[in-house]
Amino acid sequence: MWNELLYAFQEVATLPNFLAMFAGIWGGVIIGAIPGMTGTMAVTLALPFTFYLSPVTSILLLVALYKGSTYGGSISAILIKTPGTASAACTVLDGYPLARAGKGGKALNMALISSCIGDFISNISLFFLAIPLATFALRVGPPEFFMLMAFSLTIVASISGRSLVLGIISACLGLLLATVGEDMYGSFRFALSEDMKSGLGMVPVLIGLFALPELIKMIVFRPEDNAAAMKLGDNRLTLAEFRGSIKSICRGSIIGVILGAIPGIGPSTAAFFSYSEARRTSKNGDKFGEGEIEGIAASESANNGACGATMIPLLALGVPGDVITGVMLGAFMIHGLTPGPLLFQNNLGDVYALFIGILFSSVFLFVAGKATAGAFTKISRIPQTLLLPCILILCVYGIYSIGASPFDVTVLLVMGVVGFAMMLLNIPAAPFLIAFILGPMFEDNMRRSLAISRGDLGVFFQSWISWGFFALTVLFVILTIRREWKKWRDKRDATNASAS
Amino acid sequence: MNQNRDFYAGLVATVFFAVILFVLIPIYVKVPSFIPGFAPPPDMWPRVVAVIGLVMGVLALVLAFPKMREASRDRVEGFGNRILGNKTHLMRFAGILIVFAAFVYGMPLIGFVPATVLLLGVLFIMTGNFERKFWMIGLAVIFPVLLYLLFTEVTHTPFPKGKLLSANISHLTTLI
């Protein structure tokens, strides 16, 4: 093991890898700092460029973008009261009042330090949890994999939106789109045109679905321009302030790790959960929301803590926990690496290299954040009316450069329109994406299981692992239905009370 | 608003999955004759997914009805009124569709770079914010050209020159 670790360290400690991580962190912070631009957008936009890099370098670049954008979201949250990413929404509550009080620099410093600590703890957990989970996953066959994927899709469908039904509709759309192209028997499905015979490319679908709807939304609804940014002001974070927040940082990091490792939950929920926990347990709980620095520590440590943890199910089981890890799964596959237990058997060196590289990226995050906090305040003021059309053009060039195919550009634009329609109809996009990526594996495992059992459905219930995942799926559906029913009943009671 | 959205989402999903199940699968998913009886045929999975989608679409519609009835106590808003109320938004959305379609069909004719310059210019105009006119004009021309240079130099992508443009250039060369 130590030899492999040493070899992996040598593989990571190269100039291209360090440059990729630096570029990723900086790019991520810049994109995360711009309201309306998300980490998903950052990762998907970078995907076409990773084709020309080695597998480890490209994954490190994408992970760095993810981490950078998660921290970057806090910059605009603190300085212009607009969270750059959804996971920074809690940071606004205390960050903006601090900035108004002339303590923007202090708030940014706390956000950076707690993000880096959360990130580091999360990376360490990735190291210790992914390998045992992958060893367990080696005992899993096609029927168990089918059940596992059904379970992950159910979680993603129920958590990522407001309604389980709409989540499942979204997942069905993704699964259906994944069937376009050649079947395992060589027949074609939904080949409406000659180009569709080879299926729809993963990258145009991803980028179209997540990068374009924001542009279309801006053109159709024309929202107000960016608000003016606050000045940084007081920059010093005292030792007493740090000591007062250390409990919240540690708890936030652990919450981030646990919630990040469960598919479908992700950094936003982790941040909200950690913030409410810190508010409940802190002696300054009543000051939360008025500019309490502990609030920033709680939410930022949790959202960055979830970043590394989302890689645990991806690497160990091959199941992406959220949209960004879904894109990363695509990147792995493009480079001929299939995440899952076999990755640890066949490419252990690459996995160790990734772990070490991801640990390095926490340090880079600290350096990049510290060096350029002032400059990023200007970036968050770039008007979206200039930025978003340019991003579309960047997407068009990036997509075309992958396969020199105008069809891919058409898919990109069509998926943008589909993504916008889904946004209007409140249909969550995350289940669509995860289902589109998992679809071929999902179908393959189901058909293989049925072929092995000669059509007997009992094959899906022959092992305790299958039963376990089945029970979890049913339990999760019941809990979600119960939650929605309770929500509906509370709302009805409130309406009746106000009417009477 | 949300109650109506749920209704429309259910309606769109129901219609979409019904079209997939009853029209597209029978026409566009062929089942080869050599597949053994016990092996799942190619149309099985799309059928399963479409049926689940259809059921969920109907369920979304059914669940939206009581919510809509509650909402309609305060304000009744028909589908026609909603469309008329959002006429400007719909016009802009239709505009985007036309621009995208024009780009897809026009790009092979006029070439990749001129098409992206035009696309960017039109999108800037469509944002409706003309406070930074010079930035818009400059970016519309320079940004696609810079990207073209970057991609041709770094990834050696052969971007389409455009039938009309290359035909004109070859015509000029013959004349010279």
pLDDT tens digits, residue range A316-343?
Answer: 888 886 778 888 888 888 888 888 878 8
A423 inside 8 A of chain B by CB? no
Mean pLDDT for the stretch of residues A2-12 = 79
Lowest mean pLDDT among A231-240, A249-258, A307-316, B120-129: A231-240
A443 inside 8 A of chain B by CB? yes
As a dihedral over the C-alpha atoms of residue B113, residue B114, residue B115, residue B117, rounded to 10 degrees, the angle is: 90
Mean pLDDT for the stretch of residues A144-161 = 76
Q: What is the pLDDT of residue B137?
A: 93
By residue count, chain A amounts to 500
Mean pLDDT for the stretch of residues B98-109 = 94
Can you give the pTM of this predicted structure? Answer: 0.75
CA neighbor of A253 nearest in space, from A279, A277, A284, A237 = A277
CA neighbor of A399 nearest in space, from A51, A23, A32 = A51
Residue B31 dihedral angles phi and psi, to the nearest 5°: -105, 115
Pairing outcome for strands A181-182 and A188-189: antiparallel
Share of chain A above pLDDT 90, in %: 10
Half-sphere exposure in the Cβ direction for A333 (13 Å, CA)? 18
A450 inside 8 A of chain B by CB? yes
Half-sphere exposure in the Cβ direction for A205 (13 Å, CA)? 22
Who's near A164: CB < 8 A, 6+ residues apart? Answer: A157, A158, A477, A480, A481, A484
Share of chain A above pLDDT 70, in %: 91
Confidence category of residue B24, pLDDT binned at 50, 70, 90: very high
**CA-to-CA dists, residue A342 to A141, A339, A449, angstroms:** 12, 7, 19
Which tens digit of pLDDT belongs to each residue from A204-218?
887 788 778 888 998
Who's near A352: CB < 8 A, 6+ residues apart? Answer: A4, A5, A7, A8
Residue to substitute from B87, B127, B146, interface A, most A β-carbons within 10 A: B127
Q: What is the pLDDT of residue A448?
A: 85
Tell me the three state secondary structure of residue A189: strand
Reported ipTM: 0.88
Q: Which among B56, B92, B143 has CB closest to A220?
A: B92
Mean pLDDT for the stretch of residues B68-92 = 66
CA–CA dist A315, A238 (Å, integer)? 39
Q: Which tokens is A368 given?
A: 């990049």
Which of the two residues, A6 and A181, has the higher pLDDT score?
Answer: A181
Q: Which of residues 242-301 of A touch B (CB under 8 A)?
A: none
Q: Which tokens is A281 given?
A: 């347990």
Residue B21 has pLDDT above 90, yes or no: yes
Q: Are A44 and A207 in contact (CB under 8 A)?
A: yes
From chain A, pick out residues whose CB is under 8 angstroms from the CB of B16. 173
Contact B45 A179 (CB under 8 A): yes
CA–CA dist A339, A359 (Å, integer)? 19
Q: Are A140 and A401 in contact (CB under 8 A)?
A: no
A370 inside 8 A of chain B by CB? no
Q: Are A73 and A32 in contact (CB under 8 A)?
A: yes
Which tens digit of pLDDT belongs to each residue from A248-257?
999 999 988 8
Residue B43 has pLDDT above 70, yes or no: yes
CA–CA dist A363, A346 (Å, integer)? 29
Contact A179 B108 (CB under 8 A): no
A490 inside 8 A of chain B by CB? no
Confidence category of residue B153, pLDDT binned at 50, 70, 90: confident
Lowest mean pLDDT among A63-72, A158-167, A183-192: A158-167
Residue A161 dihedral angles phi and psi, to the nearest 5°: -135, -170
Distance from CA of B121 to the nearest CA of A (A): 9
Mean pLDDT of chain A: 82
Distance between alpha carbon A425 and the CA centroid of its chain, in Å?
22
From chain B, pick out residues whose CB is under 8 angstroms from the CB of A446. 40, 45
Q: Are A419 and A428 in contact (CB under 8 A)?
A: no
